[in-house]
């Protein structure tokens, strides 16, 4: 069994558009006297990536269309926010109880297209990064160039789940790590061949990191050390289930 260590990395300044996330992370880690090691996984919260990439929208500049107004009235939501939700989506999967489940342009299925107002200044809403896998690649490349270490990067966000209450952090983008850890074709202790066992290791690591970073602690990143994973560059987008196979859509 691997020994798993989760190291929170706080001390980030307020992140603004154009900020270098890798540089901010390394400076915060230096102040905390933490150094990256080979095979560390750096987990970065989506919100600071969105801020750095200019993915904040001033709500006063949003003009909701007819569809947004109709859906907002039905769900008791701000029509400007709903307009952003629709713009960021490929389609609405389902709406009810004040929640709009969409399939985003990233092929993520989540509430409100990932649009939210938490941890951003009043009057603004944050959108997901336009290409979370691409964002993870850029951050990883800069970290590896600066440190000489071979690491992986996960960009995490908080998602609900269709079959139970509560939320957990999951990966919306990754680089340097295969999203799945496949046990297909291997046998268990009783000799049965495993046919469907593919742990979503990027989600497991994202959830583990959230235990150390929390929601209100202002700690936007963590290092997860000792996790078993395969190096890879498929990205999170590659593990989206096809619509015709998704029992929840």
Residue range 9-32: average pLDDT? 96
Q: What is the pLDDT of residues 74-95, one digit of tens each?
A: 999 999 999 999 999 999 999 9
Q: How many CB atoms lie within 10 A of CB 63?
A: 9
Q: Which residue, 65, 97, 125, sits at the end of a domain?
A: 125
Q: Which residue, 71, 104, 125, sits at the end of a domain?
A: 125
Strands 221-225 and 41-45, by their bridges, are antiparallel
| Judgement on whether residues 144 and 229 belong to the same structural domain of the protein | yes
* Predicted local distance difference test score (pLDDT) of residue 194: 55
Burial class (CB in 10 A: 0-12, 13-18, 19+), 138: middle
Residue range 8-24: average pLDDT? 96
Residue 91 forms beta bridges with which residues?
Answer: 103
| Judgement on whether residues 158 and 119 belong to the same structural domain of the protein | no
| Judgement on whether residues 161 and 212 belong to the same structural domain of the protein | yes
Place of tokens 């929390």: 214
* Predicted local distance difference test score (pLDDT) of residue 196: 58
* Predicted local distance difference test score (pLDDT) of residue 244: 84
Which H or E run contains 212?
A: helix 201-213
| Judgement on whether residues 178 and 234 belong to the same structural domain of the protein | yes
Of 22-31, 131-140, 158-167, least confident by mean pLDDT is 158-167
Please state, rounded to an integer, the average pLDDT across all residues of the chain: 92
* Predicted local distance difference test score (pLDDT) of residue 243: 82
Distance between CA atoms of 45 and 48, rounded to whole angstroms?
A: 6
| Judgement on whether residues 146 and 216 belong to the same structural domain of the protein | yes
Three-class secondary structure assignment of 131-150: CHHHHHHHHHHHHHHHHCCC
Q: What is the pLDDT of residues 168-223, one digit of tens each?
A: 999 999 999 999 987 666 666 766 655 656 789 999 999 999 999 987 778 999 99
| Judgement on whether residues 208 and 154 belong to the same structural domain of the protein | yes
pTM of the model: 0.93
* Predicted local distance difference test score (pLDDT) of residue 217: 79
| Judgement on whether residues 13 and 44 belong to the same structural domain of the protein | yes
| Judgement on whether residues 177 and 232 belong to the same structural domain of the protein | yes
Span between the terminal Cα atoms of the chain, in Å: 37
Distance between CA atoms of 92 and 100, rounded to whole angstroms?
A: 7
* Predicted local distance difference test score (pLDDT) of residue 62: 97
Phi, psi of 113 (to 5 degrees): 55, 20
Residue range 226-240: average pLDDT? 94
Distance of CA 23 to the CA centre of its chain: 20
- Between the CA of residue 243 and those of 86, 93, 169, 239, what are the distances in Å? 19, 11, 23, 12
CATH of residue 112's domain is 3.90.1660.10
Q: What is the pLDDT of residues 38-84, one digit of tens each?
A: 999 999 999 999 999 999 999 999 999 999 999 999 999 999 999 99
Sheet strand arrangement including 164-175: 5-9, 221-225, 41-45, 152-161, 164-175
Q: How many domains does the chain have?
A: 2
């Amino acid at each position: 069994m691997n020994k798993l260590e989760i190291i929170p990395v706080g001390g980030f300044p307020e992140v603004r558009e154009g900020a270098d996330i890798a540089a901010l992370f390394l400076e915060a880690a230096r102040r905390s006297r933490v150094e990256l090691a080979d095979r560390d996984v750096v987990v970065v919260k989506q919100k600071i990536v969105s801020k750095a990439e200019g993915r904040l929208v001033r709500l006063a500049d949003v003009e909701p269309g007819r569809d947004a107004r109709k859906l907002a009235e039905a769900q008791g939501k701000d029509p400007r926010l709903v307009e952003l939700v629709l713009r960021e989506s490929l389609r609405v999967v389902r709406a009810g109880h004040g929640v709009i489940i969409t399939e985003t342009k990233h092929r993520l299925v989540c509430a409100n297209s990932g649009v939210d107002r938490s941890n951003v200044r009043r009057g603004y809403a944050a959108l997901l990064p336009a290409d979370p896998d691409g964002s993870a690649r850029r951050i990883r490349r800069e970290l590896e160039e600066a440190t000489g270490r071979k690491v992986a990067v996960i960009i995490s966000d908080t998602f609900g789940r269709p079959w139970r209450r509560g939320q957990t952090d999951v990966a919306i983008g990754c680089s340097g790590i295969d999203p799945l850890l496949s046990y297909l074709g291997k046998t268990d202790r009783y000799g049965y061949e495993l046919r469907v066992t593919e742990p979503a290791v990027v989600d497991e690591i994202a959830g583990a990191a959230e235990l150390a970073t929390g929601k209100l602690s202002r700690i936007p990143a963590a290092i997860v050390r000792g996790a078993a994973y395969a190096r890879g560059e498929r990205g999170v987008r590659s593990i989206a289930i096809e619509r015709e196979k998704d029992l929840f859509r």
